[in-house]
């Protein structure tokens, strides 16, 4: 098996550990270049928002790819992380960094609470039930009284400092002025890179093989002594922790949250980003988020035009690249490499987290 994995990684060099770290480092380097290269405030804000959504989409894809369940309730989990952080800062007086831990924990707990009641459901039924639970959670927050401030939401101060890093005023780095927006973009890029590497690490463990067994045939897995429900809850909690982290990042970007932000529409957007970018690919959520969040914001598309663009983009990607944008890039790269006949350095297309079974193209 080790030899097979090595051969697959030779065909796709960027599926190895160094490649994943290089890809994450490249993501951070791009953020630094934009922040220090004179990018406009709006450009950096949209890029930051896209990365935040990419983390949430990676959380959704973790469940979709590894246990075959598409959750339409992750917006509520996202909101649980944001509200937990907001309440810790405003009511308990915690520092934003302790609030970060609270957001991750709240996301994990919220995911468990959402999945347990519907754990016997599969496929379309699971998606619809989680969507219903999402809407019930939004109604609960709207009627939360003084705790959640109802439909008006909560306003919080953003991050202030992280050691020598100042999120409130300009800094001079390498002779260039780094604005607070640029500083936060770099911070979010670092967190996003860590989150993607965490997802990749999970998918390379022995536990991932158990999850795939549950996904492919739960009855067979149970007959072999595996408890599918236990593993589904655990992967849901890992996914929820990522969603809670994304909620914390969003809270500090927007400095205000409302229940309407965490409706089922946001859950659908997370799934859209995961599918558009490419399910199971390391940079799939990032590509999908930049296509679905960054570009519409940059071109200031109206909500109606955005919905049409989303639908059109999904149709085009489904026709041209059934595995999403990352799959298309992977396929094009393999074709170019095969035609050139030249050994290409291993820093080109870091798409997949791990080798896939099958032929040279992973299929």
Determine the pLDDT at residue 17.
Answer: 55
> What is the token pair recorded at 241?
């922790």
Concatenated DSSP letters of 116-171: GGGTT--HHHHHHHHHHHHHHHHHHHHT-TTTTTGGG-EE-----EETTEESSS-E
Q: Find out whether 77 and 243 touch, Cβ atoms under 8 Å.
A: yes
pTM of the model: 0.84
Of 357, 287, 270, nearest to 329 (Cα)? Answer: 287
Tokens of 324: 């999403």
Domain boundaries, the chain: 2-340
Return the pLDDT at 22: 63
Taking a C-beta distance cutoff of 8 angstroms, is the pair 59, 242 a contact? Answer: yes
One CATH from 1.10.287, 3.10.20, 1.10.260, 1.10.3470 for 2-340: 1.10.3470
Structure tokens at 154: 């909560």
Quote the pLDDT of residue 251. 92
Q: Would you give per-residue pLDDT tens digits along the chain (363 residues)? A: 444 443 443 344 344 455 566 666 677 777 878 777 767 888 889 999 999 999 999 999 999 999 999 999 999 999 999 999 999 988 888 888 899 999 999 999 999 999 999 998 888 999 999 999 999 999 999 998 888 888 889 988 777 776 677 788 787 777 777 888 888 999 999 999 999 999 999 999 999 999 999 999 888 888 888 899 999 999 999 999 999 999 999 998 998 899 999 999 999 999 989 988 888 888 889 988 988 888 777 777 667 676 677 677 667 766 666 677 877 777 776 776 665 554 444 333 444 444 344 433 433
């Amino acid at each position: 098996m080790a030899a097979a994995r090595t051969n697959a990684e030779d065909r796709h060099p960027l599926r190895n550990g160094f490649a994943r770290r290089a890809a994450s480092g490249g993501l951070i380097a791009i953020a630094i270049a934009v922040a220090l290269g004179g990018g406009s405030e709006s450009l950096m804000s949209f890029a930051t928002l896209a990365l935040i959504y990419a983390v949430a989409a990676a959380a959704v894809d973790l469940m979709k790819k590894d246990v075959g369940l598409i959750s339409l309730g992750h917006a509520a989990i996202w909101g649980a992380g944001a509200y937990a952080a907001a309440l810790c800062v405003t009511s308990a007086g915690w520092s934003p960094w302790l609030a970060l831990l609270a957001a991750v924990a709240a996301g994990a707990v919220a995911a468990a609470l959402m999945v347990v009641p519907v754990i016997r459901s599969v496929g379309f039924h699971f998606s619809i039930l989680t969507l219903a639970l999402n809407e019930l959670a939004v109604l609960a927050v709207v009627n939360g009284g003084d705790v959640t401030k109802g439909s008006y939401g909560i306003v919080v101060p953003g991050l202030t400092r992280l050691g020598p890093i100042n999120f409130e005023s300009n800094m001079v780095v390498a002779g260039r002025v780094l604005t607070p927006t640029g500083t936060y973009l770099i911070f979010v890029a670092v967190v996003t890179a860590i989150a993607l590497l965490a997802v990749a690490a999970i998918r390379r463990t022995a536990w991932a093989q158990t999850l795939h067994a549950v996904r492919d045939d739960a009855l067979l897995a149970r007959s072999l002594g595996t408890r599918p429900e236990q593993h589904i809850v655990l992967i849901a909690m890992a996914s929820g922790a990522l969603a809670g982290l994304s909620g914390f990042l969003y809270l500090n970007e927007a400095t205000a949250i409302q229940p309407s932000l965490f409706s089922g529409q946001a859950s659908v957007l997370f799934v859209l980003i995961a599918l558009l970018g490419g399910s199971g690919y390391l940079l799939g959520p990032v590509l999908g988020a930049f296509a679905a969040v960054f570009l519409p914001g940059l071109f200031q598309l109206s909500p109606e035009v955005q919905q049409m663009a989303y639908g059109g983009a999904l149709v085009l990607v489904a026709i041209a690249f059934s595995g999403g944008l990352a799959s298309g890039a992977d396929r094009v790269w393999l074709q170019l490499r095969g035609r050139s006949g030249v050994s290409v350095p291993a820093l080109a297309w870091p798409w997949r987290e791990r080798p896939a079974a099958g032929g040279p193209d992973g299929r």
